[in-house]
Amino acid sequence: MKKNVQTLEDALYDLTHHSDVPAKAQAEALGVSYQRLVNSCVGSSSETAHHPTRFIVPQTLLTRNYVLLDYIERQVGRVAFTLPEVQMNDTAENCRVRIMRITRELGDVAGSAEKGLEDDGRLSRKEKAVCEKEAYDLVVEAVKYLMMMKKR
- How do the domains of the chain map onto residue ranges? 8-75, 92-151
* CA 62 to chain CA mean position, Å: 16
State the pLDDT at residue 113: 86
Helical spans, DSSP H, in the chain: 8-17, 23-30, 34-39, 53-63, 67-75, 92-120, 125-151
Q: Which residue has the higher pLDDT, 124 or 31?
A: 31
Q: What is the pLDDT of residues 34-79, one digit of tens each?
A: 999 988 887 654 455 688 889 999 999 999 999 999 999 989 988 7
**Rounded to whole angstroms, how far apart are CA atoms 113 and 1?**
30
Model pTM above 0.75: no
Q: What is the pLDDT of residues 80-107, one digit of tens each?
A: 877 666 666 667 777 778 888 888 998 9
Mean model confidence pLDDT for the chain? 84
